[in-house]
Chains A and B, each alone.
Chain A
Amino acid sequence: MFKTHYKLERNSVALALGIIVVSGIGGLVEIAPLFTIDETVEETQDMRTYTPLELMGRNIYISEGCYACHSQMVRTLRNEVERYGPYSLAVESKYDHPHLWGSKRTGPDLARVGAKYSDAWHVAHLINPRDVVPTSIMPKYGWLAKTPLEMKDLSLHLKAQQRVGVPYTDEQVENATADAYAQATPESAGQDGVLERYGEATNVRAFDGDPKTVTQMDALVAYLQIIGQLTQVPYADNNSEKKGE
């Protein structure tokens, strides 16, 4: 063995190829089957895609680095299920490009935060967390409420999502900007369109409390309220009984 190596280390190209082959195996064996084995991601009937407004909220979550302090992955451990709610299923992040499972809990897990608090709570909390939770160490995000949401290229966003495999219809792509506006502006003409395209259960509200302008705060709160709510499968009886290890 050491003799062979003696030869190998005299040939730079062979050495380089050796490195590529030897290092390539692990990734291939672990990643490729995830795309082909059906059981990897559960089947659901009721899974919906993010609305354009929620998607933009998700992008703000990414830009602001919320993922650096918050996970979105309840592990299959009893104490986590009791603290946060049913453990996360693979299917829940099926449309998440990229995933936001996170790796650090400076703040609590957010996988079950949707519909947990009122919009007003989130807005107050994001503007100054210490107004709501006195010893919180979360940053303030006051500018979100003052910054209008950039909405003109929303169709491009949905189109790119289509390209990476999210099943948006062409109708949803075309109406993306109008739908984002309507979802944050209740009683507007576009409201029915949103409900028709994304389902009756879609939240249509002035998330930041101000129906006049659509702000980044609207988008972010719309997103926070839908986390863990795209499908109801995790909350079904047979799942909540599985309490974790």
Chain B
Amino acid sequence: MMAQLTSSERQNIIAIGLAILIGGFTLAILGRNDILGIHALLFVAAGGLAIIVGARNLYKPEPSEDRSQSYYDDPSKVGIFLALIWGIFGMFIGDWIAWLMAFPDMTFSEGWSSFGRLRPSHTTGVIFGFGGNALIATSFHVVQRTSRARLPSQVLPWFVLWGYNLFCLLGVTGYFMGITQSREYAEPEWYADIWLVIVWVSYFGLYIWTLARRKEPHIYVSNWYYMAFILVVAVLHIVNNLAVPLSWGSAKSYSLFSGVQDAMTQWWYGHNAVAFFLTAGFLGMMYYYLPKRAQRPIYSYRMSIISFWGITFFYMWAGSHHLHYTALPHWVQNLGMSFSVMLLVPSWASAGNALMTLNGAWHRVRDDAVLRFMMVAAIFYGLSTFEGSFMAIRPVNSLSHYTDWTVGHVHSGALGWVAMIVFGSFYALVPWLWKRKSMYSARLIEVHFWLALAGTVVYVFALWNAGIIQGLMWRTYNDGGTLAYSFMESVDAMRPYYVARGIGGLLFLTGTILCLYNVWMTTRMATETDTESVDQSVATLQPAE
């Protein structure tokens, strides 16, 4: 892997490593009387590792000259593995906490393993670890193919990839030690947040630099989405994480905003993390891999334009639907509700565009589990966006909010859409990247497909039931005009559904493990040279006009 780097690039790696090492040391010394002192050692370790890797390869021969004729895919390859490993970690924790909600003592007696600390480890592990690495890996691949340009640097992609993973690691290890800002999906503390800003700016720089070198006059749809993902997440991340630390030597900070303004900022972030991380980025993925795999152009170019700008504009207004009937002023609640309903139009335009692209290739969908992953993803995307718009309507929300219905909704999107599109794209991408004829085992893909689908359906149906029952029990009155159920009765009623969810999660997790195994075995197969042409051609990508 290092063989492709020039010696000056290896020197750059050492320099970057040194900078991280020094930064880490400074932080560790400043925070020596605080938990920060321990946490900063992760920076030291990361910097040290970069130096060692750079130094050990420093005097290796220079790479051959013709590399500029090809694409640079090593970071994507590593990213795929990182995504799957994080996925297994995050889903394992997810299933653990799922069982904890039925059997609360199924854990250790130390703080790190208690529900409240595991839950953010789950969300960070799956959203940022699994989803984020999948986005980075595929965005590097897609931007090169659709621009017909090689990544302009061989150091920056590694910095982005490993730097990002360092952020995820800081997050998860922090929660285990009780370090958290308590902001949903933005739990890591100030120093990790600043680190992510540095990484993210590099990511954007790399992306726009690659686009600038493109040989295609047009920027392909996927890149619009990947760009929106990178840019908007940057803005959201910076604003939502504004905070004042106790000192440069303390891990703890206090959020700059309080109360109602803080809640609104947090959900403006939280909802758009769903929109621009879990939706826009993955739509970018879908717009490339689905037409490629189906060997058909995107159904409608105009629909993709409308849905892109619709999503970019409408989503940012929708966050306040998380705060219906709260102390947030009514006018904001109503704006949030209205825009959430309007959001259905661009969302269904995207889902429809994807499904119409498959129209005429249904025989392939039937025979090819990879394409089926993508089709199911598009369907679940349509379903969960419909459900989301529905739940944003105030009276519906009065029933669904605070209940397991929300969690069911989240996972219909997370498992059905996000994870499925990742699996489909990976199965398409891996043979291209490693230049293999096909995946190691088509049967295992088939098994994975059914495990994932079954897991999702069990999970989502169980929690729909759970949530609606819970919501109704909380609001049911006796004939005498008093509340019919105590809170505990509603907790007791949840147990069978929580058990079912635990089983569904186990199926889904098993599928992900099979995926990692299948990818690993594929990389160990013999190389097949002529598959390259599929991956190199951009012909099928031209949108229908």
Q: Is B66 an interface residue (CB 8 A)?
A: no
Query: Is the pair B104, A136 in contact by a Cβ cutoff of 8 Å?
Result: yes
Which residues of B lie under 8 Å from residue A68 when comparing CB positions?
115-116, 119-120
Known: A34-B329, A100-B182, A133-B488. Contact between A9 and B224, CB under 8 A?
Answer: yes
Q: Is A62 an interface residue (CB 8 A)?
A: yes
A-B contact count (CB 8 A): 266
Known: A16-B227, A22-B312, A75-B325. Contact between A165 and B268, CB under 8 A?
Answer: no
Number of interface residues of B (CB under 8 A): 99
Q: Mark B320-338, 1 if CB is under 8 A from A, else 0.
A: 1011111111001001100
Query: Is the pair B244, A93 in contact by a Cβ cutoff of 8 Å?
Result: no
Residue of B nearest to A63 (CB): B178
Number of interface residues of A (CB under 8 A): 90
Query: Is the pair B320, A41 in contact by a Cβ cutoff of 8 Å?
Result: no
Query: Is the pair B313, A22 in contact by a Cβ cutoff of 8 Å?
Result: yes
Which residues of B lie under 8 Å from residue A91 when comparing CB positions?
259
Q: Is A156 an interface residue (CB 8 A)?
A: yes
Stretch binding the partner chain, chosen from A76-84, A180-188, A191-199, A205-213: A76-84
Complex Cα distance, B129 from A230, in Å, reads 40
Query: Is the pair A135, B492 in contact by a Cβ cutoff of 8 Å?
Result: yes
Give chain A interface residues in 96-155, CB to chain B under 8 Å.
96-109, 129-130, 133, 135-143, 153
Stretch binding the partner chain, chosen from A24-32, A217-225, A235-243: A24-32
Which residues of A lie under 8 Å from residue B327 when comparing CB positions?
73, 87-90, 92-93
Query: Is the pair A98, B218 in contact by a Cβ cutoff of 8 Å?
Result: no
Q: Is B232 an interface residue (CB 8 A)?
A: yes
Complex Cα distance, B244 from A35, in Å, reads 18
The residue from B183, B261, B487 contacting A35, defined by CB atoms under 8 A apart: B261
Residue of B nearest to A161 (CB): B254
Known: A22-B312, A104-B407. Contact between A164 and B104, CB under 8 A?
Answer: no
Give chain B interface residues in 162-205, CB to chain A under 8 Å.
175, 178-184
Query: Is the pair B335, A160 in contact by a Cβ cutoff of 8 Å?
Result: no
Known: A12-B219, A77-B325, A137-B491. Contact between A26 and B316, CB under 8 A?
Answer: yes
Residue of B nearest to A35 (CB): B261
Complex Cα distance, B398 from A244, in Å, reads 12
Query: Is the pair A59, B474 in contact by a Cβ cutoff of 8 Å?
Result: no
Query: Is the pair B246, A153 in contact by a Cβ cutoff of 8 Å?
Result: yes
Complex Cα distance, B314 from A66, in Å, reads 32
The residue from A73, A97, A107, A139 contacting B326, defined by CB atoms under 8 A apart: A73
Give chain A interface residues in 18-61, CB to chain B under 8 Å.
19-20, 22-27, 29-31, 34-35, 37, 39-41, 59
Complex Cα distance, B471 from A75, in Å, reads 14
Which residues of A lie under 8 Å from residue B182 when comparing CB positions?
62, 65, 67, 98, 100
The residue from A25, A71, A137, A138 contacting B102, defined by CB atoms under 8 A apart: A137
The residue from B183, B244, B312 contacting A164, defined by CB atoms under 8 A apart: B244
Query: Is the pair A23, B246 in contact by a Cβ cutoff of 8 Å?
Result: no
Q: Is B264 an interface residue (CB 8 A)?
A: yes
Interface centre among B212, B257, B317, B318 (most CB of A within 10 A): B257
The residue from B181, B227, B239, B325 contacting A98, defined by CB atoms under 8 A apart: B181
Interface centre among A19, A68, A136 (most CB of B within 10 A): A19
Complex Cα distance, B314 from A27, in Å, reads 10
Q: Is B55 an interface residue (CB 8 A)?
A: no
Known: A30-B332, A143-B109, A143-B110. Contact between A160 and B245, CB under 8 A?
Answer: yes
Which residues of A lie under 8 Å from residue B362 when comparing CB positions?
none
18 contacts between A and B (CB under 8 A): A9-B219, A15-B224, A23-B312, A23-B315, A25-B316, A30-B317, A34-B261, A62-B182, A63-B179, A65-B117, A65-B180, A87-B327, A90-B328, A105-B403, A135-B492, A157-B254, A160-B244, A160-B245
